[in-house]
């Protein structure tokens, strides 16, 4: 470029016949590189923390580090800039960053799901194609408009108008970053909504088309007239890799895995293969990342891909790639935009560049009958730019195709497209909105002839079999069928795009059995288990889905799945399972946290199922017992048991505990001081009226007309009477207890007992029944009814270890 000055420095060659030709490499070159890597890694993590409330990707954080070093900011302090990035250290960090970029492209190829791309539906393909064609038609016009608007500025002159500039300008605006889209959807908890699935599939297709366009057109910007030979030779190279090299690699890796001869040291050959393919594509005249991407694409997916990504992702994504993205930010000179009088028109052009893909997506989604709000949200999400756009920006800079103003304008548009997505989606689409009240979201209010829809969450195949055993009891009929949405919960670790892509579609259809990852094997097994339930019962529909998310926020994905599928109940597995000794042992503490998070804000009723070999109980002679104390949760528990009692051969025993004397005292401390005890009394009176009304209806409708249903009452006068009563009830035996969690009971006795509970999510009654000291062999279903604010877990949760012994002594 005409406005750049080359930086020169001396290099002393003291060992011309050796590998390291310069002297004291470890003392001079390595410390500089270490400082640069540490500076970029630490600051990018710091920016990630700052941007976390805005749900920005790591890419934005890493570019921010480079922008921090521009002249308006830290770059104005020459001493600081030259200490971090001295002239003699630029070449080394450039080489290292491009090596990281090559491996990043390799990982991107590994995470691509070819099965989804080849079997895409018409809607997703149309959205992806429209997002490419429309910008390709309009972008050149905007480039010409920008040149006319910007004019001639002596300080920052524009490049000569060339076909290369038009080509790269257009290609940058057409691509979509699939990894960035996957991260955005995961952060916004939209992955498993209809909008999220459409966006994810369209983004994967758009990213694939982006690689194709990159391979076909970028060589013309690099090699000029000889690019046609580069394109033809690159296409030949890709065909040979797919149809010749891929089967050989597949055979070799499968043989190693079958004989259990594979070890981590042999992964060195994989990384050598990445460099070899990169060198070949670079030799052919294409960019080096094309070869790396193709090599990742042809490698076997599943276990092998998971192994490679688990080993290399942290180092590549955490240390090497940030160096490249930091360089992108260092070249961003915003002063070039505002250095001329017509800068407001330049800002308008930047906004128009951001609108191209949004407008094309809106048009296509309107054609498919989608709402404008969904079309706008989808367009915003697909407007995310990723690594591909930044690589083309880097090529345009290195080849002097873009001048400083052009680079600043197009880079600002790319960053703006990516930055505004999450905040705008939160405003427009409101994925975290409070769910609307709906009477169908409880079992009690569900019509007798309505379809019962509920979510069954599982973490493994054993829990899937456990859930099926309780689902079979829900008395599905032709009048009131059952629709089950089975959610396999997978913890998100590493690259979001890799895990999400691996779980799109049915894994068996895309991979051999030996290549499935552990999570894919679980999904396949769970899928088959629930499919068997649907085949066994004509009135039961089953859909098996998977949720890939961090355990700390996975409850929000469950919320949105429940809301979108209009379910009345969420079934959760207890975090303990039955051991061979007959006691309950902890499976994972994380499962307990998930259950508690779900109960705090679920959009429908929630049930936690404690399985004590319930699957072995003959369902034709099932005995259910409900312990009814009072409150909305107990009414919901009775509603579920009442529905189950309609199944042939099922016996239902309802035992109502009536609190008298000290046990009937109201606990006013849970209410605000402004409301006082009067409000508490009014609330408990209202709940008592609802309890009496529902119990009366139950006794009149069910008990009097069905000999298999019984009802009894027991009086309690103090907190010590409750464990005694439960022990008396246990003597009669049953197969499963169904009880309410009891969060809304305004009882002082139950509030005091709650302080000694080991598992607050089960409530007082449920915690006693599940306790090993209680000695019951019956399974337990604890129910929380929707519409009363959800369970609140305070700091007392950590006191369970201290209080456990005291509580068990009471039991």
Residue 682 has pLDDT above 60, yes or no: no
Q: 222 with 81, same domain?
A: yes
β-bridge partners, 491: 549
> Cβ of 676: how many Cβ atoms within 10 Å?
11
Residue 330 has φ and ψ, to the nearest 5°, of: -65, -25
β-bridge partners, 549: 491
* Mean pLDDT across 636-650: 91
Q: What is the CATH number of the domain that holds 498?
A: 3.40.50.620
719 falls in which pLDDT band (50, 70, 90)? confident
> Cβ of 77: how many Cβ atoms within 10 Å?
12
β-bridge partners, 585: 577
Strands 540-549 and 584-586: unpaired
Q: 98, 175, 208, 159: which is closest to 396 by C-alpha?
A: 159
State residue 20's pLDDT score.
64
Q: Is the dihedral of CA 602, 604, 605, 608 positive or negative?
A: negative
In this structure, what token pair is assigned to residue 373? Answer: 């709000």
Strands 650-659 and 779-784: unpaired
Task: Tell whether 16 is covered by a domain.
Answer: no
Between CA 122 and CA 76 the distance in angstroms is: 53
State residue 118's pLDDT score.
66
Q: 83 with 186, same domain?
A: yes
Selected residue with higher pLDDT from 752 and 262: 752
Task: Tell whether 673 is covered by a domain.
Answer: no
Q: 148 with 217, same domain?
A: yes
CA 54 to chain centroid, in Å, comes to 16
Q: 240, 245, 238: which is closest to 286 by C-alpha?
A: 238
Q: 374 with 495, same domain?
A: no
Q: 155 with 304, same domain?
A: yes
Using the 3D structure, point to which of 399, 428, 457 is the last residue of a domain.
428
Which of the residue ranges 23-32, 89-98, 312-321, 362-371 has the most confident prediction, judged by mean pLDDT? Answer: 362-371
Q: 194 with 91, same domain?
A: yes
CA 129 to chain centroid, in Å, comes to 26
653 falls in which pLDDT band (50, 70, 90)? very high
Residue 502 has pLDDT above 80, yes or no: no
Task: Tell whether 435 is covered by a domain.
Answer: no
Task: Tell whether 604 is covered by a domain.
Answer: no
* Mean pLDDT across 322-345: 85
Q: 388, 373, 387, 466: which is closest to 424 by C-alpha?
A: 373
Selected residue with higher pLDDT from 432 and 763: 763
State residue 425's pLDDT score.
84
Residue 325 has pLDDT above 70, yes or no: yes
- The answer to whether the predicted template modeling score (pTM) of the entire model surpasses 0.75 is yes
Residue 3 has pLDDT above 60, yes or no: no
Residue 729 has pLDDT above 60, yes or no: yes
State residue 592's pLDDT score.
93
> Cβ of 280: how many Cβ atoms within 10 Å?
19
694 falls in which pLDDT band (50, 70, 90)? very high
Between CA 470 and CA 460 the distance in angstroms is: 16
Between CA 266 and CA 264 the distance in angstroms is: 5
* Mean pLDDT across 448-477: 91
Residue 601 has pLDDT above 60, yes or no: yes
How many domains does the chain fold into?
3
Residue 623 has φ and ψ, to the nearest 5°, of: -120, 115
Say what percent of the chain tops pLDDT 70: 83
| Count of residues making up the chain | 811
State residue 207's pLDDT score.
85
State residue 162's pLDDT score.
78
| CA dihedral angle for residue 48, residue 49, residue 52, residue 57, rounded to 10 degrees | 10
Between CA 457 and CA 460 the distance in angstroms is: 10
State residue 782's pLDDT score.
95
What confidence tens digit (pLDDT) does each residue in 374-392 have?
888 888 888 888 888 888 8
* Mean pLDDT across 472-499: 82
Between CA 141 and CA 409 the distance in angstroms is: 15
* Mean pLDDT across 213-230: 81
Q: 383 with 479, same domain?
A: no
β-bridge partners, 456: 486, 571
Task: Tell whether 57 is covered by a domain.
Answer: yes
- Beta carbons of 111 and 308 less than 8 angstroms apart: no
Between CA 398 and CA 90 the distance in angstroms is: 14
Lowest mean pLDDT among 43-57, 367-381, 436-450, 641-655: 436-450
Q: 455 with 542, same domain?
A: yes
Lowest mean pLDDT among 29-38, 461-470, 527-536, 761-770: 29-38
3-state secondary structure of 209: helix
Which domain range does residue 446 map to? 440-506+516-577+588-594
Which of the residue ranges 459-468, 610-619, 680-689 has the most confident prediction, judged by mean pLDDT? Answer: 459-468
State residue 264's pLDDT score.
64
* Mean pLDDT across 18-39: 75
Selected residue with higher pLDDT from 500 and 58: 58
Q: How far apart are the first and last CA of the chain?
A: 82
- Beta carbons of 192 and 557 less than 8 angstroms apart: yes
Q: 240 with 383, same domain?
A: yes
- Beta carbons of 185 and 199 less than 8 angstroms apart: yes
What confidence tens digit (pLDDT) does each residue in 510-553 have?
444 445 566 777 888 898 899 898 888 889 999 988 888 888 88
Residue 172 has φ and ψ, to the nearest 5°, of: -60, -35
State residue 115's pLDDT score.
63
Q: How far is CA 206 from CA 115, 173, 358, 568, in A?
A: 15, 12, 14, 37
3-state secondary structure of 655: strand
640 falls in which pLDDT band (50, 70, 90)? very high
State residue 180's pLDDT score.
85
CA 491 to chain centroid, in Å, comes to 9
Say what percent of the chain tops pLDDT 90: 18
- Beta carbons of 563 and 601 less than 8 angstroms apart: no
Q: 768, 766, 746, 761: which is closest to 797 by C-alpha?
A: 761
* Mean pLDDT across 444-459: 90
State residue 96's pLDDT score.
86
Task: Tell whether 120 is covered by a domain.
Answer: yes
Between CA 180 and CA 56 the distance in angstroms is: 9
State residue 352's pLDDT score.
92
> Cβ of 137: how many Cβ atoms within 10 Å?
12
3-state secondary structure of 623: strand
State residue 259's pLDDT score.
62
Residues 6+ apart with CB under 8 A from 691: 628, 630, 631, 634, 635
679 falls in which pLDDT band (50, 70, 90)? very low
Residue 497 has pLDDT above 80, yes or no: no
Between CA 1 and CA 550 the distance in angstroms is: 46
Residue 309 has pLDDT above 50, yes or no: yes
Residue 656 has φ and ψ, to the nearest 5°, of: -100, 125
> Cβ of 300: how many Cβ atoms within 10 Å?
21
State residue 673's pLDDT score.
40
Selected residue with higher pLDDT from 263 and 634: 634
* Mean pLDDT across 173-180: 86
* Mean pLDDT across 694-714: 89
Residues 6+ apart with CB under 8 A from 363: 130, 134
What confidence tens digit (pLDDT) does each residue in 153-174 have?
667 777 776 788 888 899 998 9
Residues 6+ apart with CB under 8 A from 337: 343, 346, 347, 405, 408, 409, 412
Residue 18 has pLDDT above 70, yes or no: no
314 falls in which pLDDT band (50, 70, 90)? confident
Q: How far is CA 207 from CA 108, 176, 201, in A?
A: 10, 5, 10
> Cβ of 272: how many Cβ atoms within 10 Å?
10
3-state secondary structure of 810: helix
Q: 103, 124, 324: which is closest to 209 by C-alpha?
A: 124
Q: 283 with 357, same domain?
A: yes
Mean pLDDT of the chain: 81
State residue 804's pLDDT score.
44
* Mean pLDDT across 322-339: 85
Using the 3D structure, point to which of 428, 457, 481 is the last residue of a domain.
428
State residue 148's pLDDT score.
85
* Mean pLDDT across 779-783: 94
State residue 495's pLDDT score.
57
Between CA 379 and CA 361 the distance in angstroms is: 5
Q: Position of tokens 């969450």? A: 457
Q: 410 with 464, same domain?
A: no
* Mean pLDDT across 414-423: 89
Number of continuous H segments (helices) and E segments (strands) in the chain: 32, 12
Helix ranges, 224-330 (H): 227-240, 246-258, 267-283, 288-298, 303-315, 321-330
> Cβ of 163: how many Cβ atoms within 10 Å?
12
3-state secondary structure of 739: strand
Task: Tell whether 640 is covered by a domain.
Answer: yes
In this structure, what token pair is assigned to residue 693? Answer: 């009304």
Q: What is the CATH number of the domain that holds 330?
A: 1.20.1530.20
State residue 54's pLDDT score.
83
Task: Tell whether 805 is covered by a domain.
Answer: no
Question: Buried (b) or exposed (e) across 144-157, using 16+ Cβ within 10 A?
Answer: eebeebbeeeeebe
Q: 165 with 309, same domain?
A: yes
Residue 578 has pLDDT above 60, yes or no: yes
- Beta carbons of 250 and 300 less than 8 angstroms apart: yes
What confidence tens digit (pLDDT) does each residue in 259-306 have?
656 666 667 788 888 999 999 998 988 888 999 999 988 887 767 777
Selected residue with higher pLDDT from 690 and 681: 690
């Amino acid at each position: 470029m005409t406005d750049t000055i080359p930086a020169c420095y001396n290099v002393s060659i003291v060992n011309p016949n050796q590998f390291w030709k310069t002297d004291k490499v470890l003392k001079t070159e390595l410390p500089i590189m270490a400082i640069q890597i540490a500076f970029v890694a630490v600051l990018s993590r710091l920016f990630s923390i700052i941007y976390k409330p805005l749900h920005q990707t790591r890419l934005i954080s890493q570019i921010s580090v480079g922008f921090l070093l521009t002249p308006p900011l830290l770059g104005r302090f020459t001493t600081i800039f030259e200490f971090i990035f001295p002239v003699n250290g630029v070449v080394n960090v450039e080489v290292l960053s491009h090596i990281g970029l090559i491996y990043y492209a390799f990982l991107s190829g590994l995470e691509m799901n070819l099965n989804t791309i080849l079997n895409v539906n018409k809607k997703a393909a149309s959205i992806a194609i429209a997002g490419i064609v429309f910008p390709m038609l309009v972008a050149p016009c905007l480039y010409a408009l920008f040149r006319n608007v910007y004019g001639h500025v002596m300080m920052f002159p524009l490049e000569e108008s060339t076909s290369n500039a038009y080509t790269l300008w257009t290609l940058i605006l057409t691509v979509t970053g699939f990894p960035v889209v996957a991260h955005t959807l995961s952060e916004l908890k939209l992955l498993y909504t209809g909008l999220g699935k459409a966006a994810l599939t369209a983004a994967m297709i758009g990213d694939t088309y982006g690689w194709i366009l990159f391979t076909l057109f970028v060589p013309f910007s690099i090699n000029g007239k000889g690019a046609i030979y580069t394109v033809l030779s690159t296409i030949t190279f890709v065909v040979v890799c797919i149809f010749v090299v891929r089967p050989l690699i597949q055979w070799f890796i499968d043989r190693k895995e079958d004989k259990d001869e594979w070890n981590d040291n042999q992964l060195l050959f994989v990384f050598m293969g990445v460099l070899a393919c990169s060198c070949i594509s670079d030799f052919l005249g294409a960019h080096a990342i094309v070869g790396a991407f193709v090599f990742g694409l042809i490698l076997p997916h599943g276990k092998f891909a998971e192994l490679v990504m688990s080993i290399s992702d942290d180092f590549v994504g955490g240390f090497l790639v940030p160096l490249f993205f930091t360089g992108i930010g260092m070249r961003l000179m915003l002063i070039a935009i505002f250095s001329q009088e017509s800068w407001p028109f330049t800002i308008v052009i930047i906004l128009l560049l951001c609108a191209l893909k949004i407008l094309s997506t809106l048009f296509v989604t309107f054609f498919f009958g989608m709402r404008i709000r969904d079309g706008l949200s989808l367009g915003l999400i697909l407007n995310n730019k990723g690594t591909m756009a930044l690589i083309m920006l880097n090529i345009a800079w290195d080849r002097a195709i873009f001048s400083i103003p052009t680079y600043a304008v197009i880079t600002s548009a790319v960053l703006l497209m990516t930055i505004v997505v999450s905040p705008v989606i939160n405003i427009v689409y409101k994925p975290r909105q409070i769910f609307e009240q709906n009477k169908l979201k409880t079992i009690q209010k569900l019509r007798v002839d309505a379809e019962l829809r509920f979510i069954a969450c599982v973490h493994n195949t054993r829990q899937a079999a456990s859930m099926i055993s309780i689902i079979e009891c829900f008395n599905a009929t032709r009048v009131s069928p059952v629709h089950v949405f089975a959610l396999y919960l997978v913890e998100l670790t590493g690259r979001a795009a890799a895990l999400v892509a691996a779980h799109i579609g049915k894994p068996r259809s895309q991979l051999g059995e030996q290549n499935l990852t552990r999570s894919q094997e679980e999904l396949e097994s769970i899928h088959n288990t629930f499919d068997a339930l649907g085949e066994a019962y004509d009135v039961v529909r089953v859909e098996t889905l998977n949720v890939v998310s961090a355990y700390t926020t996975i409850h929000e994905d469950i919320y949105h799945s429940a809301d979108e599928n209009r379910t009345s109940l969420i079934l959760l597995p207890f975090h303990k399972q039955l051991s061979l000794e007959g006691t309950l042992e902890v499976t994972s503490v994380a499962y307990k946290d998930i259950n508690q998070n779900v109960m705090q804000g679920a959009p429908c009723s929630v049930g936690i199922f404690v399985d004590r070999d319930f699957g072995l109980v003959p369902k034709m002679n099932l005995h259910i017992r409900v312990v009814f104390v009072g409150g909305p949760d107990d009414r919901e528990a009775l509603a579920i048991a009442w529905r189950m009692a309609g199944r042939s051969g099922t016996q239902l025993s309802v035992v109502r505990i009536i609190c008298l004397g000290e046990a009937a005292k109201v606990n006013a401390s849970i209410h605000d001081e402004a409301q006082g005890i009067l409000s508490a009394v009014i609330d408990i009176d209202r709940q008592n009226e609802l309890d009496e009304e529902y119990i009366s209806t139950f006794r009149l409708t069910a008990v009097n007309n069905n000999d298999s249903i019984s009802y009894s009452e027991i009086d309690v006068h103090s907190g010590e009477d409750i464990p005694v009563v439960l022990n008396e009830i246990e003597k009669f035996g049953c197969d499963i207890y169904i009880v309410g969690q009891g969060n809304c009971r305004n009882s002082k006795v139950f509030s005091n007992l709650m302080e000694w509970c080991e598992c607050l999510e089960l409530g007082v009654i449920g915690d006693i029944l599940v306790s090993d000291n209680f000695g019951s062999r019956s399974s337990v279903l604890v129910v929380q009814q929707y519409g009363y604010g959800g369970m609140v877990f305070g700091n007392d949760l950590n006191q369970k270890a201290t209080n456990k012994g005291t509580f068990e002594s009471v039991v």
